């Protein structure tokens, strides 16, 4: 790492207008005054070691086909062990440009054509659409809202497994509700999967973004015990280190024959991971921890602000997400007779409508942005709701 970058202060307060980058998040709204809080990427500059690694390589400027290095795999394994106590073997690790493509491949490989694949909405929208693209049948078993909790509906899951579903597309921690699954819930899930001989594809992209100090992410493969070879896990630096635009996720596939099938199906269809993405991933896991710890503190504080302010507003409510930088806000289907997302957009805040996630009564708000921008957005939401009541 270069000396100037080592000395750099880490600040998440800087407001960075990302429109000039053709940012998907920032160019969605015609009105440039709308604060975009809808998409799941962060409005923060990446950690200095990542910038430095990419800068060194752009100076070198030779970008031929590149393999992931052993050192990269070692850095990922070390991160997973330190953060989550998970010992993965280097052979289990592979890479893919998009986690969504991994959900697609898992559906094709673990379920027969026309076979049933389970997911639990409300959920990140591609979980609901990818199985049809993979020519499998998506079965939605909604999470149950019990008091303040979101719970898996084990009765319905078992009924589906009994009917022959062979794959569960699982999101842990869960986007958008921010749930961290307990050991007990994972044990129950695995007892069912084992009974019916089914696979679990566990999307754990948000696993390093646990904000509640009393909660801990448990990798599905650990909870699986000796059933771990029936798991496929997706982790990656995209969410945690804000490099989703580089296109890289990490696959952990312990079963050798599944790895072989995976390679056979994906080879020539799924593109290689970009060389700069490998370098950024290595720098993130090997040298990004200082930035990461500061990020978690910042997000934790933003989460408290959102929860406190929403609790003071009429007509809407939310629970505290234990993980992710996403707040899942209950609105009801309309506010003043208008759908909630266009309602808040009119007042200058861009939020993600819940419909695509499977519940039109909610909006998703991304609080991974500079605090002053977040407060401005919350002020606008409060004013909007005050005007109608
Ligand atoms: C749970 C989850 N999985 C997958 C993705 C998308 O990953 P990728 O861009 O690697 O396809 C997201 C993005 O928000 C996500 O939240």
Site to probe by mutation for ligand 1, drawn from 205, 235, 324 as the one with most ligand atoms within 8 Å of Cβ, is: 205
Is 100 a pocket residue for ligand 1 (Cβ < 6 Å)? yes
Instruction: Provide the H-helix boundaries in the chain.
Output: 3-6, 48-60, 70-84, 99-110, 126-133, 154-162, 183-195, 220-223, 237-240, 256-266, 275-287, 289-312, 340-346, 371-388
Q: What is the per-residue pLDDT for 388?
A: 82
In angstroms, the Cα distances linking 267 to 161, 260, 270, 365 are 30, 10, 6, 37
Q: 74 CA to middle of ligand 1, Å? A: 23
Q: What is the per-residue pLDDT for 5?
A: 46
Give residues with Cβ within 8 angstroms of 264, minimum separation 6.
Answer: none
Q: What is the per-residue pLDDT for 8?
A: 57
Q: What is the per-residue pLDDT for 7?
A: 45
Q: Domains of the chain, with CATH numbers?
A: 3-47+289-388 (3.90.1150.10), 63-284 (3.40.640.10)
In angstroms, the Cα distances linking 82 to 111, 182, 184 are 33, 19, 22
Measured CA to CA, the distance from residue 324 to residue 367 in angstroms comes to: 9
Report the atom number in ligand 1 closest to the C-alpha of 100. 11
Q: 341 CA to middle of ligand 1, Å? A: 21
Measured CA to CA, the distance from residue 78 to residue 87 in angstroms comes to: 8
Is 238 a pocket residue for ligand 1 (Cβ < 6 Å)? yes
| The residue to which tokens 């992710």 are assigned | 324
Q: What is the per-residue pLDDT for 389?
A: 63
Query: What is the value of pTM for the model shown?
Result: 0.96
Tens-digit pLDDT profile for the chain (389 aa)? 444 444 456 889 999 999 999 999 999 999 999 999 999 999 999 999 999 999 999 999 999 999 999 999 999 999 999 999 999 999 999 999 999 999 999 999 999 999 999 999 999 999 999 999 999 999 999 999 999 899 999 999 999 999 999 999 999 999 999 999 999 999 999 999 999 999 999 999 999 999 999 999 999 999 999 999 999 999 999 999 999 999 999 999 999 999 999 999 999 999 999 999 999 999 999 999 999 999 999 999 999 999 999 999 999 999 999 999 999 999 998 888 999 999 999 999 999 999 999 999 999 999 999 999 999 999 999 999 999 86
Q: 293 CA to middle of ligand 1, Å? A: 22
Nearest CA to ligand 1 atom 7: 99
Contact 271, 65 (CB under 8 A): no
């Amino acid at each position: 790492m270069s000396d100037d970058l080592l000395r750099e202060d880490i600040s998440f307060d800087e407001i960075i207008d990302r429109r000039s980058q053709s940012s998907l998040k920032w160019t969605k709204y015609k009105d440039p005054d709308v604060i975009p809080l809808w998409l799941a990427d962060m409005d923060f500059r990446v950690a200095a070691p990542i910038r430095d690694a990419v800068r060194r390589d752009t100076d070198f400027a030779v970008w031929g086909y590149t393999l992931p290095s052993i050192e990269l795999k070692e850095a990922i394994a070390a991160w997973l062990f330190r953060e989550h106590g998970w010992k993965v073997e280097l052979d289990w690790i592979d890479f893919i440009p998009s986690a969504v493509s991994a959900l697609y491949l898992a559906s094709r490989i673990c379920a027969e054509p026309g076979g049933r694949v389970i997911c639990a909405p409300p959920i990140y929208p591609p979980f609901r659409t990818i199985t049809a693209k993979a020519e499998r049948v998506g079965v939605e078993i909604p999470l149950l809202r019990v008091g303040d909790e979101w719970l898996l509906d084990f009765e319905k899951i078992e009924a589906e497994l009994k009917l022959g579903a062979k794959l569960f597309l699982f999101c842990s921690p869960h986007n958008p509700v921010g749930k961290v699954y307990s050991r007990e819930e994972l044990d129950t899930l695995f007892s069912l999967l084992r009974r019916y001989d089914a696979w679990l594809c566990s999307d754990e992209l948000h696993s390093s973004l646990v904000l509640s100090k009393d909660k801990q992410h448990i990798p599905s493969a650990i909870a699986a015990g000796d059933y771990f070879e029936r798991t496929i896990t997706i982790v990656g630096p995209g969410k945690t280190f804000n490099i989703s635009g580089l296109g890289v996720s990490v696959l952990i596939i312990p079963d050798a024959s599944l790895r072989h099938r995976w390679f056979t199906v994906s080879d020539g269809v799924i593109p290689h991971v970009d060389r700069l993405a490998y370098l950024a991933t290595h720098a993130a896991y090997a040298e990004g921890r200082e930035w990461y710890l500061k990020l978690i503190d910042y997000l934790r504080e933003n989460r408290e602000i959102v929860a406190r302010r929403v609790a003071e507003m009429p007509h809407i409510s939310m629970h505290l997400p234990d993980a992710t930088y996403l707040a899942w806000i209950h609105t009801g289907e309309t506010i003043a007779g208008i759908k909630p997302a266009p309602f808040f957009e009119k007042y200058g805040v861009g939020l993600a409508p819940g419909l695509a996630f499977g519940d039109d009564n909610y909006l998703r708000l991304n609080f991974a942005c500079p605090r002053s921008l977040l407060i401005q957005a919350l002020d606008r939401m409060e004013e909007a709701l005050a005007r109608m009541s």
